[in-house]
A and B are shown apart, each in its own frame.
Chain A
Amino acid sequence: MPEWKEALSVPAFGLGFMLLVGAIAYGLRLDLTREIAVGTIRTFLQLMAAGAVLSWLFRARSPAWLLLPLGAMLGVAAWTAWKKAGRRPGAFFRIALALTLAEAVAMGLFFGLRIVPARPETIVPMSGMIVGNAMIVAGLFYDRLLAGRREREEVLILWLSLGADRRQAYREIAQEAVRATMLPSLDTLKTVGIVQLPGMMTGMIVAGASPLLAIGYQILIMYAIAGGAAVTAATLYVLSVPLVFTSAHQLRR
């Protein structure tokens, strides 16, 4: 397969960049040699493996096989966000649910409205972007929520001590957490095309697609990512009251 030759030779030239990184790290005595070596090799192996799976998947025409990469994607993303959330008990299944919902809503809109054809070639990479971003949102949401729990404990106790419902007290920190998750995607929406050209679009143009078509898909993806982020944050907002408060409207220690 000549395609394979190209797939291997292009990143092989890219190794030059990593040699540059290594040289800089060595020159500045950054003590990062191991990190750089591991990162370089893992990027190569993981993406090659993903490419091999995708190639095979795009040819296997049974849609049931799609559940495999989607499931793996959701599982790994939920796990990663859960670690960022300090491995809080009960957070994992909430994150998994939020990511699944974000993915379902995004795919439902894409394919329900026939914006893009429902094929493995579209489902898998678009899911990757939606879920990948939702993962960051979930991690950020819990990071901010638990920080709010620590920093605003006095205000939370004030609400509870007067007989407020735990949801009233929760709003005090959870709104801020949702806000924090939305700001990065909104900032990106504001600066895209001026500060940087997004990866997907760059990839499409380099691979020979028309810039206008690439931009059209890029805009779609970016809106979808913002939508997925909002669904993720809203789901976690609704589900996470018991992580901070007991059913007796007490602050969880």
Chain B
Amino acid sequence: MEPLFRLEGVVVAEADGRRRIDGLSATIESGERLAVLGPSGAGKSTLLFLLNRLLDPTAGSIFFRGRPLQAYDPRELRRSVVLVPQRATAVSGTVADNVCLGRRIHRLPCPREAVAEMLAAFGLDTGLIDRDARALSGGELARVALARAVLLAPEVLLLDEATASLDPPSAEGVLRALFAGLSARGEGERTVVWVTHDWALARRLASRMWWLERGRLSRPPEGADEAGAEGETRGTAAGEGGARR
């Protein structure tokens, strides 16, 4: 069966010739929770930008459900493949406006009850709903960003260190809420590609792990993970009754 994403010799080169992604060939299956790890500057964020076409490769091809990424209207593609960027940010307006942003863009209804439910699910006080979003703290904004993405019920969620501003126990709770929220909304399998620095968390929650270094998939160096995982590693455990459903 055709994988969800297929990358073939993907290269992203800067104007000066430096390669942020250097000949990456790989597949991502539907329903995976793929954790992407690696040193800073390894190309992890770039990889996510490629998957919902905020960036086009300099060379190589990316296929989504067997069709080249360019064959999709980028706006429709990003409706199903949603990216939560690294630094959570807000548009002007209330918390509700911000949580509903994705749905409003696609002219979908966004009832207050759904917003309140999302805030609660991500550990936010529902009293914040009418507060000015730009008054929120970084951690609160990160939760709003995730609520915003989940409410769109995307097929694929791309998380760029979306929980980096939270302490590890909160991060785990938020991610579990996220996986639960995704499964509860919409039909079919939900896929998450998730850039993180937290090995332990990745081991607990991911169904598969990638180690990205200098724009390529490779083996993690000794000591990067106590267990000395391989370049492409099956997650040993899975929370919530098995990540691979």
Contacts and interface: CB of A to CB of B under 8 A. Distances in A.
Q: A and B bound?
A: yes
Contact of B82 (A162, A168, A250): A162
A162 B87 contact: no
Interface stretch (B53-61, B178-186, B187-195): B53-61
Interface residues of A, number: 17
A172 interface: yes
Nearest to A163: B78
A242 B238 CA distance: 45
Contacts of B75: 163-165, 249
Interface residues of B, number: 27
A3 interface: no
B54 A250 contact: yes
A163 B56 contact: no
B91 A248 contact: no
A163 B91 contact: no
A164 B106 CA distance: 8
Contacts of B79: 162-163
Contacts of B89: 154-155, 158
Given A172-B91, A248-B56, A251-B54, A161 B105 contact: no
B148 interface: yes
Q: 10 nearest interchain CB pairs?
A: A163-B78, A161-B83, A162-B102, A163-B79, A154-B89, A163-B75, A249-B74, A164-B105, A248-B74, A157-B85
A160 interface: yes
Nearest to B101: A162
A57 to B, nearest CB: 48
Q: Most B CB atoms within 10 A — which of A160, A163, A250?
A: A163
A154 B84 CA distance: 11
A90 to B, nearest CB: 18
A155 B91 CA distance: 7
Interface in B8-64: 52-56
Contacts of B76: 163
Interface in A186-213: none
A158 B90 CA distance: 8
A169 to B, nearest CB: 10
Interface in A208-253: 248-251
Given A248-B74, A249-B75, A250-B74, A161 B85 contact: yes
A58 interface: no
B78 A160 contact: yes
A161 B156 CA distance: 12
B53 A250 contact: yes
